[in-house]
Amino acid sequence: MDPRSAAGRATHAFRTCAVALDGRFVDSPVMQIRSAEPGDSGSIREIHLNAFDENERHAVADLAAALLSEPSDPGALHLVAEDGGTIVGHVCFSPLFDRAKLECVGFLLAPLAVASSFQKRGIGSALVREGLRRLEERHVDSVLVYGDPAYYGRFDFEVETAKRFVLPFPLSQPDGWQVRLRDPGGFLDEVVRLDCVEPLRSPELW
Ligand SMILES: CC(C)(COP(=O)(O)OP(=O)(O)OC[C@H]1O[C@@H](n2cnc3c(N)ncnc32)[C@H](O)[C@@H]1OP(=O)(O)O)[C@@H](O)C(=O)NCCC(=O)NCCS
């Protein structure tokens, strides 16, 4: 996934639906965020096929669908944004494990997409914030992401601390690897060697 995807391809079409004037997404009868269900798989694939560039859309759509049926413990968190019953956005948070201790140490935010004609209305932010809120409720300490710091910085993801979380793959753009800690002051100064769920174990995704 190219962490710089999507910049500049947003559109302001359909801006009339239920979105606050300050650009922040508002839950309303026509626009809502809910947990995804197995039957949403086709719609979720379509969102990623629509939102990502040609060179990565099929790989990301396949990844999203595979993560929806991923039987990990703990399970992945999938959220969709619906506009009047139509799915227009999707985000997944899947568990990351300490390879040595074989325990879950955080979640990976990937993939995230909003249908191109619905972008720039705060839907992506609303999906991310709702996912972070739910993970905080579950006392998840770390959420990692491989994406554009210009976008994820607004959710308090940062690059420096993420260097302590080492993936089993080389990253083509190491500056895109970021972490958001629930308690930034409480993190021990140690390196954690990570493992991820099976659909993400493809070096070409990184
Ligand atoms: C990234 C994405 C999910 C954002 O969804 P969205 O609903 O448009 O997001 P929001 O409305 O909450 O935020 C829009 C803001 O983010 C900015 N933004 C979007 N993608 C960005 C990027 N890659 N880098 C920096 N800023 C970005 C927009 O320019 C906009 O800025 P503004 O508020 O100053 O106008 C959407 O653009 C998308 O689906 N892109 C294609 C897939 C993709 O790249 N996913 C992320 C992979 S890591």
Give pLDDT, residue 82. Answer: 96
Give pLDDT, residue 20. Answer: 39
Give pLDDT, residue 101. Answer: 92
Sign of the torsion angle spanned by Cα atoms 204, 2, 163, 132:
negative
C-alpha of residue 196 to centroid of ligand 1, in Å? 25
Atom index in ligand 1 nearest the CA of residue 111 equals 47
Name all domains of the chain by residue range, CATH numbers in brackets: 31-205 (3.40.630.30)
Give pLDDT, residue 30. Answer: 76
Give pLDDT, residue 12. Answer: 24
Give pLDDT, residue 177. Answer: 98
C-alpha of residue 126 to centroid of ligand 1, in Å? 11
Atom index in ligand 1 nearest the CA of residue 91 equals 3
pTM of the model: 0.89
d(C-alpha 159, C-alpha 157), whole Å: 7
Reading the chain (206 residues) residue by residue, the pLDDT tens digits are 655 554 333 222 222 233 433 445 555 557 899 999 999 999 999 999 999 999 999 999 999 999 999 999 999 999 999 999 999 999 999 999 999 999 999 999 999 999 999 999 999 999 999 999 999 999 999 999 999 999 999 999 999 999 999 998 899 999 999 999 998 776 667 899 999 999 999 999 99
CB of 20 shorter than 6 A to ligand 1: no
Return the half-sphere exposure (C-beta side, CA atoms, 13 A cut-off) of residue 15.
11
Locate 111 and state its tokens.
């993939």
d(C-alpha 108, C-alpha 145), whole Å: 6
d(C-alpha 132, C-alpha 66), whole Å: 21
C-alpha of residue 84 to centroid of ligand 1, in Å? 22
Nearest to 180 by CA among 200, 206, 155: 155
